[in-house]
Amino acid sequence: HVWPFDSSFAVDVRFFIFDKRHNIRMNRHDYFEIFYVHSGETICRIQNRSFPISAGDLVVISSTQYHTMYPPIERDARTTVKAAALYFLPELIRAAETNGDDAEYLMPFLVQDAGFSHIIKAETGIPNQVFDLIKRINTELPTASTRARLAVKTYLKMVLILLVNHYAEYQGTGRYSTANSAPSNTFARSSNSSKITTAKRSPSEPRPRLSAAASRIS
């Protein structure tokens, strides 16, 4: 699907609430996605693999991967998952880097093969750092000045460097040159459905700094 980015500055932050009542179809898109679980537990399906994700985990998804989220079979339909997502087009980084560094910044999205470890667990400490930067980006959107655009690009590059360092040893098809390992658990997809909601605003409305899904995190 196509995301309604600002045509001149393709980056956005959204806060979501999932439940079990409606289906989210498998989808892919031309932008890159970084998804942070604020609270709750869910299953992330990417292509033909499924991974359990919990509060504090981070998901890294490129533009080539079909994906969806759905709750575990045993979870009550009224139980919700709160999450934040950072979306951006790779051209935002490519346009800013004339010396070829864009490929380095985008490496975690460009090397995603069948064995790639899309989930970064909370205990690594990386997801919390990324979420802090996502909140900073959100406070600058929509960008109304050169300073705001510079701030967003800087925070985004800080996010990407955290990911680059995490995946630095990845050698493809699930192999790492260090002790890092890819997720090994695979779950059958539930026939139960899930729901995602996000607040919408008109162009004339001011952008909220944080939604209720994330406002309690400092």
* Residues whose CB falls within 8 Å of the CB of residue 6, separated by 6 or more in sequence, listed in order: 12, 142, 143
Q: Give the three-state DSSP class for 45.
A: strand
Q: What domains are there in the chain, each with its CATH number?
A: 11-197 (2.60.120.280)
pLDDT tens-digit profile of 40-99?
999 999 999 999 999 999 999 999 899 998 888 766 666 789 999 999 999 999 876 767
- Tell me which residues of the chain have a pLDDT lower than 50: 176-218
| Burial of 144 per CB tally in 10 Å (0-12, 13-18, 19+) | exposed
Q: Give the three-state DSSP class for 151.
A: helix
The confidence score (pLDDT) of residue 13 equals 96
Q: Give the three-state DSSP class for 102.
A: helix
* 24: alpha, beta or left? (left if phi > 0; alpha if psi -120 to 50): beta
Rounded distance between C-alpha atoms, residue 127 and residue 121, angstroms? 7
Under 8 Å between Cβ of 37 and 99: no
The confidence score (pLDDT) of residue 22 equals 60
* Residues whose CB falls within 8 Å of the CB of residue 100, separated by 6 or more in sequence, listed in order: none
Residues for the chain: how many in total?
218
Separate counts of helices (H) and strands (E) for the chain = 5, 11
Rounded distance between C-alpha atoms, residue 176 and residue 173, angstroms? 9
The confidence score (pLDDT) of residue 95 equals 79
Average pLDDT over the chain, rounded to an integer: 80
Strands 49-54 and 41-46: antiparallel
Rounded distance between C-alpha atoms, residue 139 and residue 96, angstroms? 21
